[in-house]
Structure 1
Amino acid sequence: MAEAVYSTATLKDAGADRFDSLAGKVHPAILKALENMDYEYMTPVQSKVLSQLPTLQSDCLVQAKTGTGKTIAFLLPVLQSLLTGPAVPRGQVAVLIMSPTRELAQQIAKECDRLTACLPRRIECHTAFGGTTRNANLSRFMNGNPTILVATPGRLKDYLTEEKTVARFDNLRCLILDEADTMLEQGFLQDVRQILRLLPPKNTGWQGMCFSATIPDKIRDVLSTVLAKGYTSVSAIDASEPPTHARVPQFHVVIPTVQDTFRALLSLITFEIKESGEHPKIIVFGTTANLVALYAALFRGLPNALPVYELHSRLSQPQRTRTTDAFKVAEKGILLATDVVGRGMDFPNVTSVVQVGLPMNGEQYVHRVGRTARADKDGRAVIMLTQAESFFLNVNRQLPIQPYAHSAAILADSAAADQAAAILATIDEGTKQKGYSAYLGFMKGFMHKLRLSPEGLVAVANDLAILGMGCPEPPAMEKKTVGKMGLKGVRGLRPYAVFRDVFSALLSRCINARQCLHKAGATA
């Protein structure tokens, strides 16, 4: 399945309902598509949504974990309603699905296309998200027949600022919020509120469906706007079942200081490759896009290395799509990533998840761990922290994180240290500068917990650059960037030298001109 906590074998053993039992209730072309997709049994959330809703057009709040088949659970009812209800006027959006990330939006759209592949008449599923050419996508949207639209909040809000685009939602029949808690936690609350104000009002009769793993207080007011009073609550979370992450063996490696990051990471991955068996498939999470790019450059420098994949927000959308598709089908490899894949994305057969540096909180840590040990497969998780960052382990004692068996060997691995230094010496200074700047920006938010002053933070970052990356001196920082970080005037930062370089060039020209004049005078 596109979201694969369950496998056919476990569902069969659990006595799950079969999709073919829906004959007469669901269009035969959809059932045929499910068969072609090798979907034989319903997951709990799919079964409960289809059996517990008063009608397939009923509003509902569905609580289910990531990776339990939620996409099919909301697509089946809305597609059936589209096929049996009044025809949708051409060019109108009948079903709007909001998703927190581009990757999840693409995954939903792909599943929708597969599910409608056998229909006698095509139902177009469009996407709208950032990182793509706005005008070209908007033109496709306006000239096409986007009966279903899967969108991230930022780009959707952008679309709805244009009057001609807003009119395309006049016949809205269903609004779905997928991963609602994550969407609102990631800062989209204001965007979602504005979108809801721009869409046809709830009293026009459109169906609301909210899918969320948790129901935090801050989404309650949004729920009241999306869902009608008396909506149906469905829970597919078994209180007696241990959380997915609790079934994953989890370990920690504590390194002395941040300057040890690169050599320790190389050594750690070597051990994880050995632990993973014949087909190691590892995701390494970094804290920022530019640090991930630096880690990717490090692993690409290894001789005879596993295939290296890189996925973060600094890449173009086509690059991200190609990488996502490639890593999904890869038998082995290392994916260096940020949290664009931290939740909602499914990569089959991931053997290890490694986290480098501090997660924002325990929940983010758990979501990352959930990328492995899916569909009855084994998996492991390791987090690597500096001694100063190890407070994370103390404040999250509820997480079953044990010491890594090879920690001492990693810290004593001189071969990995030499290898890291040699590769880092070949990486361009621009990549290192961006990694340095990203580290400063990210760790600024943890200064209080790390008990660091601004000068102390800069000193740690400088150690990372000089002793860790092998830079001859701290990378230069633009004045504007320093100001945005709130580090203006902090000792230890090296200002960007553009004005000094320009002055040096002008001075050199003046000296050359003077020498030429002097020579000309002497000749005369």
Structure 2
Amino acid sequence: MSVVQLLNEQLQAKWSFEAPMKVQEELIPLMLEGKDVVAQSPTGSGKTLAYTLPILNKVDGSKKQTQALIVAPSQELAMQIVNVIRDWTEGTNITVQQLIGGANSARQIEKLKKKPTIVVGTPGRLNELARAGKLKLKEVETIVLDECDQLLSREYRVVVKSFIDASAFGRQIVVVSATVTEEIELVAERLMFEPARIVIRPEDMPAGGKVVHSFVKVDERDKTDLLRRLSYQDGLQALAFVNNIDQVIMKENKLKFRDAKVVTLHSEMKKEERQKTLQAFRKGEAKILIATDIAARGLDIDGLTHVIHVDVPRTVEQYLHRSGRTGRAGADGEVIAFLSYHDEKDYKKLTRDLPKKPVQKIWHDGALIEGNSKTVSAPTPKKAPAKGKTFAKKR
């Protein structure tokens, strides 16, 4: 029997997929049984529906009380979760409210007075409203921590624990992420009651597209200019990661001065600015979206051809999280790392367990091609294009 048949008739009628994903097959029954769960499953494996459907099956929209809380580390992920819930609750009396930073808090408080069935939010805004007594958690029976490796890190741990402590006695707690470290396991165990564990491996996933891992050796000072050049490449839609907000803002200022086809995303932007950025990127008006890990958490962008590690990640988990954004839904993709001299040793450690050795590339004649300075004749240095002109590839 399919796990879909465990759901109510309304949810079964809206199910339009050929078959459930592996994480859905394992998580849905456990949640319906009321068990606490720690679920590890790769990026793009269907985690959102895996925990959303049991919640929708359980809550009662006729009751004017908040019955479920979903916590996400970024505004974008929270908004995506809300959109999924709205799609599945259309035509029902189940309501959902997003509580995120960067949005008007007075308006959010007004909507909370109507007692939404489900609340989805980021830790900072949820904490602010809970401490002010505007968000009532005492009747919340289910709490989901999406991207729990972030939410149970030391930065958010105390706040997240306060949400759990304030919720209903015997509440169900579900934590999900693409990576679950031993530390997160220990923290989760202290907050949960005999949690069941789910581990979905990449080989359990349906066959995806082919993903090539490559690297370019480039001086630190030249990384921004290489991004500019790539932003003019036909057919490229890339998510470029840097390690801190200062670097995002610095690159944004330099690249926009040069009219590069890039947009940026970081935690200090307002909600409207973030939505405008994502809309421009999804429409193809910009070729590269530059972001930090927190800002890009959970972003689901169709047709993403490349992930670019402008700054080399600090951990293997971080490398996998970032890289998992491309090569989804059967499409091919490429993961490119910009390596300055001091990055090379760390990069080798991060990629030593990949199925295939990363390919070295070099910028030559207006494009990235396989090879290095010894196998490919060095290109003649080019002047930057005048402002307003595109960087065209030679023919």
In structure 1, the gaps of 5 or more residues are: 1-16, 425-524
**1:242 offset after TM fit, Å?**
9.1
CA distance change for structure 1 residues 61 and 357 in 2, over 3 Å: closer, same or farther? closer
Quick one: which of 118, 133, 139 aligns to 1:171? 139
Over 3 Å counting, the alpha-carbon distance change for 1:241 and 1:224 in structure 2 is closer
Cα drift, residue 206 of structure 1: 1.7
CA RMSD of aligned residues (A): 3.2
1:383 aligned counterpart, secondary structure: strand
Matches within 5 A, 1:15-414: 22=5, 25-35=6-16, 39-51=17-29, 53=30, 55-83=32-60, 88=63, 90=64, 92-119=65-92, 121=93, 123-141=94-112, 143-162=113-132, 164-165=133-134, 168-185=136-153, 187-197=155-165, 199-200=166-167, 204-229=169-194, 231-237=195-201, 248-255=211-218, 257-269=219-231, 273=233, 279-300=235-256, 307-330=261-284, 333-398=287-352, 399=354, 400-404=357-361, 405=370, 407-408=372-373, 412=379, 414=381
Q: Alpha carbons of 1:31 and 1:156: their partners in 2 closer, same or farther (altered >3 Å)?
A: same
**In structure 1, C-alpha distance between the alignment counterparts of 2:290 and 2:213, rounded to whole Å:** 19
Letter in 2 for 1:286: V
TM-aligned CA distance change 1:195 to 1:82, over 3 Å: closer
In 2: Cα distance, 1:243 partner to 1:182 partner: 26
In terms of mean alpha carbon deviation, does 365-374 or 176-185 score higher? 176-185
Deviations 1:477-498 (A, max 9, x none): xxxxxxxxxxxxxxxxxxxxxx
In 2, Cα distance between the equivalents of 1:411 and 1:139? 62
Judge which range, 63-72 or 289-298, deviates more. Answer: 289-298
TM-score if structure 1 supplies the norm length? 0.64
More strand by share: 2
**How big is the shift at 1:18?**
6.5
8 Å contact kept, 2:178–2:321: no
What percent of counterpart residues are identical?
Answer: 25
Higher RCO (CA 8 Å, separation ≥ 6 residues): 2
In the TM superposition, residue 268 of structure 1 has moved relative to its aligned partner by: 4.8
Distance 1:34 1:178 in 2: 22
How far did 1:339 drift? 1.8
Shift of 1:299: 4.3
What amino acid maps onto 1:144 in structure 2?
Answer: K
TM-score normalised according to structure 2 size: 0.83
Q: Secondary structure at the match of 2:277?
A: helix
* Cα distance in 1 between the residues matched to 2:161 and 2:122: 13
Matches of 2:323 and 2:240, distance apart in 1: 11
Distance 2:271 2:248 in 1: 17
* Cα gap change, 1:45 to 1:314, in 2 (>3 Å): same
Kindly indicate whether the alpha-carbon contact (under 8 Å) linking 1:175 and 1:207 is maintained by their aligned counterparts in 2: yes
Q: SS of the counterpart of 1:165?
A: coil
Tell me the CA shift for residue 78 of structure 1: 1.2
- In structure 2, relative to structure 1, the CA distance for the partners of 1:406 and 1:263 (3 Å cut) is farther
Distance, in Å, in 1 between the alignment partners of 2:164 and 2:22 is 30
> Post-superposition shift, 1:195?
3.0
**Greater C-alpha Rg:** 1
Q: Deviations over 1:116-151 (max 9, x none)?
A: 0132x2x1111122222333323332x222210112
Matched residues, number: 375
User: In the TM superposition, what whole-angstrom CA distance separates every residue of 1:160-184 from its partner, at most 9, and x where no partner exists?
Assistant: 212x335x22211111111212322
Query: Within 1, Cα distance between the matches of 2:111 and 2:177?
Result: 31
- For structure 2, the residue ranges without an aligned partner over 5 or more in a row are 362-369, 389-395
